[in-house]
Structure 1
Amino acid sequence: MATMKIKKGDMVKVIAGKDINSEGKVIAVNRKDGTVLVEGVNMVTKHTKPSMQNQQGGIVHQEGPIDISNVMYLHNGKPTRVGFKMDGDKKVRFAKSTGEVID
């Protein structure tokens, strides 16, 4: 599998699906399934049984996974593609629209 161009903590914009044009911070990345969890996007309803951690139980609203191909990295508030290049002997990500190094 190719390297993941989106990491935890990145700001992304949803470019496809029911939550199109919504933006949020990446909570988690699942490399195996190629999905991401984005804060406040693709909210699903989950029914939970009472447990030691959750005494009350009931209905919980939480984020559902989105395919990584449906999100785009936000650089300075604008969506851009992400590439990799060598900065000396270190591999870094860069925004293709501006050429600036991300991290």
Structure 2
Amino acid sequence: MASAKHTISVKYKIKKNDTVMVVTGRDRGKTGKVMRVLPEAGRVVIERLNIVKRHTKSSGGAQRPGGIIEKEAPIAISNVMIFCDRCNAPVRVGIKANDDGSKSRVCRRCSEVIGND
């Protein structure tokens, strides 16, 4: 019996350019801007956080020199929370329907609209 691969589409409330705070792990308490969201892996890449060193071999001469490169590694999306500027704290996010039928993300603490959806 052949089994078909099913891909589950998960929608996260964290998006690119959101300001988030890391709530667990090595970088706990630090805030940064989301550079990429990797929904299939359930991870996010945050600017200047979770820095790792990668040893790279040079390829192409001067185009890609070898050496030790520092870059941001993905963090599990469950380990970060959206940072509300008005509350000045990490908050949970809710969805609110607008009068025109569109939806907005809102802070659960202060009901402030998050981002520019």
TM-score after normalising by structure 2: 0.81
Aligned length: 102
* Unaligned runs of at least 5 residues, structure 1: none
Runs of 4+ aligned residues of structure 1 deviating over 3 Å after TM superposition are none
Q: Secondary structure at the match of 2:113?
A: coil
Bigger CA radius of gyration:
2
Alpha-carbon distance in 2 for matches of 1:48, 1:74: 34
Determine the structure 1 residue equivalent to 2:14.
6
Determine the structure 1 residue equivalent to 2:27.
19
* Unaligned runs of at least 5 residues, structure 2: 1-8
Alpha-carbon distance in 2 for matches of 1:33, 1:24: 20
How far off is 1:48 after superposition?
1.2
Q: Secondary structure at the match of 1:69?
A: helix
Determine the structure 2 residue equivalent to 1:34.
42
Identify the match of residue 64 of structure 1 among 46, 56, 73: 73
How far off is 1:51 after superposition?
2.2
